[in-house]
Amino acid sequence: MKAALYCRLSEEDRDKAVMTDDSGSIRNQKAMLTRYAEEQGWEIYDIYSDDDYAGSDRRRPAFNRLLTDAEAGRFDIVLCKTQSRFTRELELVEKYIHGLFPQWGIRFVSIVDNADTDNRGNKKSRQINGLVNEWYLEDMSENIRSVLTSRRMSGLHIGAFALYGYEKDPERKGHLIVDEEAAGVVREVFRLFASGCGKTAIARILNGRGIPNPTEYKRRKGLRFKGADGGGGGLWRYAAVSAMLTNEMYIGNMVQGKYASASYKTKINRPVPKEEWLRVEGTHEPIIERELWDRVQEMIRERSKPFAGGRIGLFAGKVRCGSCHASLRSSRHAAVKKDGTPDGKRYLQCETRFVARDACPGAFIGTERLERVVLEELRRLSGLYLDPELLMRYVRIGEGRQEKLEALRRDLAALERKAGEYARGLRELYLDKTRGIITEGEYLELAEDFRREKAGTEETAAGMKARIEALEKAEEGGEDSFIKYLRPGSLSREAVDGLIDCIYVFPRIPGTRNVPVEIRWRF
């Protein structure tokens, strides 16, 4: 009989000589399991070890390798110290220990709690163990969450790493002190912006001087930082500069709780609404003086202009550079028409070539041209794979259209009322400011939220109007109109979201006007 030994430790071990060493507890588990397997006369196929992973983490590399080998039938027994070492989730107990393992001919054994799938009599005890472990996870998650919230509300820093510009105070837990090396860069970023430099220009200046971005800086300081920098290779980018310029932490305010997990069963964090962030003023030494901070915030507000009348760009977040995979940023073309006026066209370009010399050959394409490329490819695919005559046999034009139109019109009316409420809210906010009920800063912050919500509502309403118009035209045009919509003449943001996963734009082919484009569809 071949046995696979599985070991896991969730807490970070303090006695490792180097990061790649197994922890003391892992070594103890291996010794216990090896001795037990030898006593039973089992051959050890392999030892699977996950260090620094929780029992509820389904992304454990050795755990998933074990499951792959089990399904392939490479061993006969899974041996653990306890059932909770394998998993603390009742769902996985039922799925694997009581479900798939028996189907694959795999026996599960844990030494300390006497779990053994060959012993039919202790199935209930295994299920009870799984239920207790599940309760333990939930209770522990709630306890940790409440403790962390309390500490955040007290202004204590919670997190594995301090914000760039600060470091953890070794003498006072939860307190931040200034890291002068990084703080000097933060001060320079604010001064450069206040003097008129743009965010991309600031990134280019920092990269030209070889200053590592915050992610690379942490790594060079020897911190065990596992996060990614977006494939930037240590380069400063527009997004990093932009986030720095609006972070209140740099004026001494502790702002936390911006992200939270949806459940104790997932490690995926979701953004938390700004009004729910935990903010405590004056918790640590500021790096940026209040006067400079206020000037920079005012400049940011003056420079910010809604894209395309307040609506999100057609390809926003969808287009990447084919060379460095950085997101392409939107900008207006600097060219002018024959009459001397700006042409006003929107272009997408890779920022890497602007923030660091020779870092990337770059990518550049007009949004109008990209829309034409996508439409042409969409029409080509429709011609290849959609048979209009066949479709017409199964699609009944006009069925349920009136009900849909009425529902859409009701929704549109509700959205228009909501947009009106935001407009009234903005007027009332202004009156509150003039009456002295709220401060100028409070007015600007609240007004920004109102404008953003109003713009989003208006964008949704515009999309709904387009859908209503399309249905009305289809009703007028009947089957001919239906066929026309199989091969659209223009794209909507809704269509781009639904059809396209990602678009890669490559550098223009030398000597031609051809810009290679790779579209990754969702279908």
Residue 338, in any domain of the structure: yes
Residue 352 shares a structural domain with residue 206: no
Q: Can you tell me the mean pLDDT for 361-379? A: 86
Task: Return d(Cα 182, Cα 220) in angstroms, integer.
Answer: 12
pLDDT band at 488 (very low <50, low <70, confident <90, very high): low
Task: Return d(Cα 307, Cα 316) in angstroms, integer.
Answer: 10
Q: Are strands 254-256 and 278-280 parallel, antiparallel or unpaired?
A: antiparallel
- The two tokens of residue 269 are 């964090």
pLDDT tens readout for residues 336-365? 555 555 556 778 888 776 676 667 887 888
- Residue 327 has what DSSP assignment? B
Maximum mean pLDDT: which of 8-22, 237-251, 307-321: 237-251
Residue 315, in any domain of the structure: no
Residue 400 shares a structural domain with residue 348: yes
Residue 125 shares a structural domain with residue 28: yes
CATH number for the domain spanning 63: value is 3.40.50.1390
Q: The domain containing residue 433 runs over which residues? A: 328-521
CA angle 85, 270, 355 (to 5 degrees): 110
Residue 143 shares a structural domain with residue 161: no
Are 78 and 66 a contacting pair, CB within 8 Å? yes
Q: Which of 117, 149, 181 is the last residue of a domain?
A: 149
Residue 130 shares a structural domain with residue 252: no
What pLDDT score was predicted for residue 111?
Answer: 87
What pLDDT score was predicted for residue 347?
Answer: 82
- The two tokens of residue 474 are 């289809």
What pLDDT score was predicted for residue 254?
Answer: 92
Residue 61 shares a structural domain with residue 133: yes
Task: Return d(Cα 379, Cα 500) in angstroms, integer.
Answer: 14
Task: Return d(Cα 97, Cα 86) in angstroms, integer.
Answer: 10
What pLDDT score was predicted for residue 232?
Answer: 54
Q: How many domains does the chain contain in total?
A: 3
Phi first, then psi, for residue 484 (nearest 5°) are: -60, -35
Calculate the dihedral angle through the C-alpha atoms of 377, 379, 384, 390, rounding to the nearest 10 degrees: 160
pLDDT tens readout for residues 239-288? 889 889 999 999 999 988 887 665 555 556 677 788 888 889 999 999 99
In this predicted structure, the answer to whether residue 307 has a pLDDT above a threshold of 50 is no
Nearest to 23 by CA among 38, 34, 13, 36: 13
Task: Return d(Cα 36, Cα 61) in angstroms, integer.
Answer: 24
pLDDT tens readout for residues 18-35? 445 555 578 888 988 999
- Amino acid at the residue 431: L
Q: Are strands 2-9 and 77-80 parallel, antiparallel or unpaired?
A: parallel
pLDDT tens readout for residues 108-118? 998 888 888 88
> Is the dihedral angle over the CA atoms 506, 507, 508, 510 positive or is it negative?
negative
Residue 310, in any domain of the structure: no
Residue 312, in any domain of the structure: no
Q: Which of 286, 303, 320 is the last residue of a domain?
A: 303
- The two tokens of residue 215 are 């992610």
Phi first, then psi, for residue 338 (nearest 5°) are: -60, -30
Residue 87 shares a structural domain with residue 137: yes
Task: Return d(Cα 131, Cα 128) in angstroms, integer.
Answer: 5
* % of the chain at pLDDT higher than 70: 72
Residue 137 shares a structural domain with residue 193: no
Q: Which of 149, 184, 216 is the last residue of a domain?
A: 149
What pLDDT score was predicted for residue 190?
Answer: 93
What pLDDT score was predicted for residue 309?
Answer: 40
Task: Return d(Cα 245, Cα 300) in angstroms, integer.
Answer: 9
Residue 418, in any domain of the structure: yes
Residue 54 shares a structural domain with residue 71: yes
Residue 274, in any domain of the structure: yes
CATH number for the domain spanning 242: value is 3.90.1750.20
What pLDDT score was predicted for residue 313?
Answer: 66
pLDDT tens readout for residues 433-466? 777 776 776 667 677 767 777 776 777 777 677 7
Maximum mean pLDDT: which of 7-16, 45-54, 412-421: 45-54
Mean pLDDT taken over the chain: 77
Residue 476, in any domain of the structure: yes
* % of the chain at pLDDT higher than 90: 21
- Residue 100 has what DSSP assignment? I
Residue 160 shares a structural domain with residue 130: no
In this predicted structure, the answer to whether residue 181 has a pLDDT above a threshold of 90 is yes
Task: Strands of 227-296 (E only): list them.
Answer: 254-256, 259-261, 269-271, 278-280
Nearest to 159 by CA among 222, 227, 238, 217: 227
Q: State the alpha helices, DSSP H only, in 334-439.
A: 352-355, 367-385, 388-394, 401-434
Residue 400 shares a structural domain with residue 509: yes
Residue 25, in any domain of the structure: yes
Maximum mean pLDDT: which of 10-24, 127-141, 317-331, 439-453: 317-331
Nearest to 226 by CA among 29, 8, 59, 56: 59
pLDDT band at 62 (very low <50, low <70, confident <90, very high): very high
More confident of the two residues 128 and 144:
128
What pLDDT score was predicted for residue 291?
Answer: 92
More confident of the two residues 518 and 58:
518
In this predicted structure, the answer to whether residue 384 has a pLDDT above a threshold of 90 is no
What pLDDT score was predicted for residue 24?
Answer: 57
Residue 392 shares a structural domain with residue 483: yes
